[in-house]
Amino acid sequence: MAGRSNTMLGLRAAALFVAGSALVVLPVALGLGAAATVTGALAGGLAIALAGAGADAGRGGLPLRAQAAYDRGLAIGLLLASLGFAVGNSPQAALLFATIGAAALAINLATRYTASPGV
C-alpha cells in the first residue's frame, strides 16, 4: 500500500505532462487563433513545469500541499479561460480549454497528495 501514493503522484505527473503538451500543440494544430495559442502555450508550459516539479519529492520538488494547490489553481484557471473564450465567441477554444481544465480538475481530485512512509 505504501507504493500506491507514489504511483498516484507518478500518474499525476504523467497526466499533467500530457495535458500540458496538448495545450501547447493543439491550439496551433487546430488553428484556434493567437489568443488561444498564447494562452495554451503559457498554461501548457505551467502544466509541464508542475508535472516536472512534482514528479520527485527530492531536492527541487514541491511540497505535496503546494502541488495540490497549484494543480487546483491550474484547473480553475483553465476553466476560467474556457469561459473567457466562450464569451469571446471562440467555441472551439472554449471546448479545448474546458476539456483539459476538467481533466486537470479530475486529476487533482483523484490524486492522493500524501507521501509514502520513509519518503
Question: Could you list the residue range(s) of the whole structural domain that residue 92 is in?
Answer: 2-110
pLDDT digits (tens, 9 = 90+) for 39-73: 999 999 999 999 988 665 556 677 888 889 999 99
Q: Would 118 be classed as within a structural domain?
A: no
Q: Would 50 be classed as within a structural domain?
A: yes
Q: Which pTM was predicted?
A: 0.87
Q: Would 45 be classed as within a structural domain?
A: yes
Q: Residue 67, class by beta-carbon neighbours within 10 Å (0-12 exposed, 13-18 middle, 19+ buried)?
A: buried
The Cα 27–Cα 111 span in angstroms is 27
Q: Helices marked H in 1-119 — which ranges?
A: 2-29, 34-54, 64-87, 91-110
Q: Would 116 be classed as within a structural domain?
A: no
pLDDT digits (tens, 9 = 90+) for 67-93: 899 999 999 999 999 999 999 999 999
CB atoms within 10 A of CB 72: 15
Mean pLDDT along residues 1-17: 75
- pLDDT at position 1 over 50: no
Q: Is the dihedral of CA 19, 24, 28, 32 positive or negative?
A: positive
Number of structural domains in the chain: 1
Q: Would 88 be classed as within a structural domain?
A: yes
